[in-house]
Amino acid sequence: MKKDLRYKYLSRPRYNRYLAATANNNERAKRLYNANIRLAQAFHPILSQFEVILRNALCLKMSTHFADPDWIINQKSGFMSHPSLNSSHNFLRSSVRKTENNLTRRGIPITSGKIISDQNFGFWLAFFLPHHYALVGGQPIYIFPNKPAVEDRASLYSKLDDLRSFRNRVNHCEPICFNAHNIDCSEAIDIRTKLYSLVEWINPDLINFLKTVDNTQSKIDKIMNI
């Protein structure tokens, strides 16, 4: 890409960080910029599959807890409407209603499956916030039967929120190959480690599947050799 196009459409401040990390070597900066995109691309499969695993583990737990496979619909008038949630604008209930309204507008029948699949990472993460966690009897922690004893609701929330934040950065094309002004993938490695730990605490048999779709290490190696 020509320099004028890069500065116009990718922005000079964004690209300048890559120049600073490569001692203003334009060729290395271009390789680093492209390699960062490839690393972000490599994270998508494991981040998306983790979200699916987390979502389905929580749904199974909630279905059992409420003895209701349609809990996500029926609990709009249950715990999702508890007065203690007014200060948070009844986030879970509002999210479900938004999906229902979208489905109705498009003429699509409302089902629990369609509502569940439409919720974002933040929806599932919210089950580990104190106000929701208490209302469902602390059930979310039990999707991690293999977690170390030291891990509690707060520590699990912190790890999950780190993954959510990293995923958002990846989706917004932010750099994930720096520590300050230095080329450094330690944060990406740490996120991957947390992701694998969380999956193992859910069910260690899922690890081999994740490894089959994970090629982040080769992209990290390429970045560190630029």
Summarize pLDDT for 14-55 with one digit per residue, the tens: 888 999 999 999 999 999 999 999 999 999 999 999 999 999
Domain assignment of residue 18, yes or no: no
Residue 80's domain comprises: 43-215
**215 Cβ contact list (under 8 Å, min separation 6):** 42
Q: Read off the pLDDT band of 64 (50, 70, 90).
A: very high
Query: For the chain, what is the domain count?
Result: 1
Would you say residue 220 lies in a domain? no
Residue 27 covered by a domain: no
What is the pLDDT at residue 9? 64
Evaluate whether residue 82 is within a structural domain: yes
Question: 6 lies in a domain?
Answer: no
* Integer Cα distance of 158 and 141 in angstroms: 13
167, part of any domain: yes
Asked if the structure places residue 5 within a domain, the reply is no
Please give the pLDDT value at position 12: 76
Query: Is 28 a domain residue?
Result: no
The angle subtended at Cα 129 by Cα 163 and Cα 104, nearest 5°, is 85
Mean pLDDT for 72-83 is: 97
